């Protein structure tokens, strides 16, 4: 086994490697093309030689990011995945997030582990409801946001109208990094504002391979037409006159959001996006520990668990803890500690992840995502470290709004039933609650959205071989955690039910918003804030 001395690296090397990292999440409303963009980025980085998610739901079987059976069948992302790839000597750690609002808690956790976000906007729909909510989470976390207007190869809104929509929704100034030549649905290529030339694209059949690009003079391109070029030049000029041009510091400070245009299904504009991230997106920066002190990038190794996922390798039913490296260098086999308990943690089975695929880790640096396989005792929000203890802030839980009792239909498989639900709770796929008597009628599944119940139902059947039944919804629509010392006080309130998490911490359930508001007003000292309410 390696010792601390074996893994020592000079501060300059750590900082140098950190500057080569770009760790980001892609966020969007469902069906904006997020998984398609992820596939196209992987194609441009030569991670794959053929895009697998470029033609809608029917071809998701080949997708890198939507690898689960339920995802492939439904054609939606329901869990975040990590994709690591190299591009021009820079290491990209891309975290593809669920777009559906029912899985917003998983997305929020991912956002705590990245340094910036790419916000995908459908050219025909603008800033949709879930896009706005996800952007608000980025704002609360202080993340710079790059905006990508996608599907420009289809009919959509006017580009300047979309800029107004983005500014109104985000309160950040959208600045054009590139500009489309041709209106939405008549996409010919991309230009830089003020340039006399543009990149003309030829879409390869089905968009499964890279599109051909050619730099041509816009004013003399006979195949383009004078009107389309004039409109592109005027549009880019108006955008620059109204909103200015890209400036790195306002972008990092959250005052600007750079805007790029793409047609990810045809792989158009994606290389331009990659090049922009390569040169202008932020590298990892020191992250504050629980006390608020920034952890230097070149300090001893530290990282924290932001996600736990089972079922990535169905043949082995293993479990992977996703760890964001915050400082130092990680080397496989090094001696690590679990900060919350002080016990040692095995680092022998650590991998870098490309969707479901894995590559054994030799070294990882700040910004990298490392998958620890079958390391028991790790939970979302836990800190791992080398040397002196450091603890990073814990991960907030969202307040569930839907509650249903789960029952096993096969009493002979009660152990599998219990184990499966515990696994889903540990991952954060569903929240598990019990009453004071241990819920003899069955544990209560608590969720942010109804789709979480459907996914839990399917995963229990497929991954654990247990058929379950879900009772009708319980008559509660809101919940709040509170201190154990206040149980008798809160349990006595009419219209409030107290249930318990596996940790023993109590959660109050409320029948309606009126009751919730009255109780919060009268007992303001009892209920803390949580991520879903900030």
Q: In terms of pLDDT, which residue wins out, 2 or 411?
A: 411
pLDDT in tens, 144-173: 999 999 999 999 999 999 999 999 999 999
What residues pair up with 436 in beta bridges, in sequence order? none
pLDDT in tens, 285-321: 999 999 999 999 999 999 999 998 876 665 556 788 9
**Maximum Cα–Cα distance across the chain:** 80
Rounded to an integer, the average pLDDT of 32-54 is 75
Q: Look at residue 486 and tell me whether its pLDDT is greater than 50.
A: yes
Q: How far is CA 86 from the centre of its chain?
A: 20
Q: What is the mean pLDDT of the chain?
A: 87
CATH 3.30.70.3280 in the chain: give the residue spans. Answer: 402-533
CATH hierarchy code of domain 402-533: 3.30.70.3280
Which residue from 194, 192, 145 is spatially nearest to 171, judged by alpha carbons? 145
Strands (E) in 355-489, as ranges, are 357-360, 363-364, 369-373, 383-385, 402-408, 431-433, 444-447, 468-470, 478-481
Residue 112 phi/psi, 5-degree rounding, is -70, -15
Distance CA 431, CA 96 (A): 22
User: Which of 66-70, 137-141, 219-223 bottoms out in mean pLDDT, i.e. has the lowest?
Assistant: 66-70
Which residue from 176, 179, 177 is spatially nearest to 187, judged by alpha carbons? 179
pLDDT in tens, 237-255: 999 999 999 999 999 999 9
pLDDT at 356: 65
CATH 2.40.30.10 in the chain: give the residue spans. Answer: 287-385
Q: 3-class SS at 235?
A: helix
What residues pair up with 81 in beta bridges, in sequence order? 96
**pLDDT classification of 56: cutoffs 50, 70, 90:** very low
Per 3-state DSSP, what percentage of the chain is helix, strand, and coil (rounded to 5)?
30, 25, 40
Which residue from 144, 145, 154 is spatially nearest to 123, judged by alpha carbons? 154
Q: Give the residue carrying structure tokens 């709040």.
A: 480
Q: In terms of pLDDT, which residue wins out, 494 or 3?
A: 494
pLDDT in tens, 380-421: 999 999 999 999 998 878 899 999 999 999 989 999 999 999
Which residue from 308, 325, 306 is spatially nearest to 368, judged by alpha carbons? 325
Find all residues with CB under 8 Å of 212, minimum gap 6, and list them. 201, 202, 204
User: Which of 49-58, 339-348, 425-434, 467-476 bottoms out in mean pLDDT, i.e. has the lowest?
Assistant: 49-58
User: Which of 30-34, 45-49, 395-399, 506-510 bottoms out in mean pLDDT, i.e. has the lowest?
Assistant: 45-49
Query: Six-digit token pair at 118?
Result: 């790419």
CATH hierarchy code of domain 21-280: 3.40.50.300
Q: Are 45 and 87 in contact (CB under 8 A)?
A: yes
**pTM assigned to the model:** 0.85
Which residue from 7, 3, 4, 21 is spatially nearest to 329, judged by alpha carbons? 7
How far is residue 476 from each of residues 91, 440, 456, 484, 527, measured CA to CA in Å? 46, 20, 20, 21, 18
CATH 3.40.50.300 in the chain: give the residue spans. Answer: 21-280
Q: Look at residue 499 and tell me whether its pLDDT is greater than 50.
A: yes
Distance CA 239, CA 192 (A): 12
Q: What's the fold here for domain 287-385?
A: Elongation Factor Tu (Ef-tu); domain 3 (2.40.30)
Query: Six-digit token pair at 358?
Result: 């894995």
Q: Are 26 and 96 in contact (CB under 8 A)?
A: yes
pLDDT in tens, 317-376: 678 899 999 999 999 889 999 999 999 999 988 988 776 677 788 899 999 999 998 777
């Amino acid at each position: 086994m390696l010792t601390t001395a074996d893994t020592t690296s000079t501060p300059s090397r750590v900082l140098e490697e950190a500057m080569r990292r770009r760790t980001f999440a892609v966020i969007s409303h469902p069906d904006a093309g997020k998984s398609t963009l992820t596939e196209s980025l992987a194609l441009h980085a030569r991670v794959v030689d053929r895009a697998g998610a470029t033609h809608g739901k029917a071809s998701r079987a080949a997708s890198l990011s939507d690898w689960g059976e339920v995802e492939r069948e439904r054609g939606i992302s329901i869990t975040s995945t990590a994709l690591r790839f190299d591009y021009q000597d820079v290491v990209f750690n891309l975290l593809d997030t669920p777009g559906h609002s029912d899985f917003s808690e998983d997305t929020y956790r991912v956002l705590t582990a990245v340094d910036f976000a790419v916000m995908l906007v459908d050219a025909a729909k603008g800033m949709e409801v879930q896009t706005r909510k996800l952007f608000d989470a980025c704002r609360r976390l202080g993340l710079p946001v790059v905006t990508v207007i996608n599907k420009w190869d289809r009919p959509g809104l006017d580009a300047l109208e979309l800029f107004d929509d983005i500014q109104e929704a985000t309160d950040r100034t959208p600045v054009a990094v590139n500009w489309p030549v041709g209106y939405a649905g008549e996409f010919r290529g991309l230009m830089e504002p003020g340039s006399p030339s543009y990149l003309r694209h030829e879409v390869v059949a089905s968009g499964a391979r890279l599109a051909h690009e050619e730099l041509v003079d816009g004013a003399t391109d006979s195949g383009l037409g004078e009107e389309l070029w004039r409109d592109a030049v005027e549009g880019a000029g108006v955008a620059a006159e109204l909103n200015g041009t890209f400036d790195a510091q306002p972008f990092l400070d959250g005052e600007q959001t750079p805007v790029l245009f793409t047609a990810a299904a045809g792989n158009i504009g994606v290389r331009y996006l990659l090049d922009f991230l390569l040169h202008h997106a932020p590298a990892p920066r020191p992250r504050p520990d629980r006390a608020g002190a920034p952890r230097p990038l070149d300090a001893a190794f530290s990282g924290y668990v932001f996600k736990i996922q089972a079922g990535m390798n169905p043949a082995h039913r293993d479990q992977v803890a996703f760890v964001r490296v915050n400082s130092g260098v990680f080397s496989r086999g090094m001696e690590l500690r679990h900060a919350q308990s002080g016990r040692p943690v095995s680092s022998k089975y650590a991998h870098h992840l490309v969707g479901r695929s894995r590559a054994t880790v030799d070294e990882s640096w700040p910004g990298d995502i490392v998958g620890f396989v079958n390391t028991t005792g790790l939970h979302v929000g836990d800190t791992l470290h080398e040397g002196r203890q450091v603890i990073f802030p814990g991960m907030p839980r969202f307040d569930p709004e839907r509650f249903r009792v789960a029952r096993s239909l096969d009493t002979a498989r009660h152990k599998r039933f219990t184990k499966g639900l515990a696994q889903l709770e540990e991952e954060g796929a569903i929240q598990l609650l019990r009453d004071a008597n241990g819920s003899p009628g069955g544990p209560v599944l608590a969720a942010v959205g109804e789709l979480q119940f459907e996914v839990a139902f399917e995963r229990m059947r497929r991954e654990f071989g247990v058929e379950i039944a879900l009772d009708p919804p319980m008559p509660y629509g809101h919940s709040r955690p509170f201190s154990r010392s206040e149980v008798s006080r809160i349990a006595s309130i009419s219209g409030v039910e107290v249930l318990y998490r596996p940790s023993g911490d109590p959660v109050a359930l409320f029948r309606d918003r009126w009751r919730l508001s009255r109780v919060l007003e009268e007992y303001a000292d009892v209920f803390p804030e949580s991520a879903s309410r900030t």
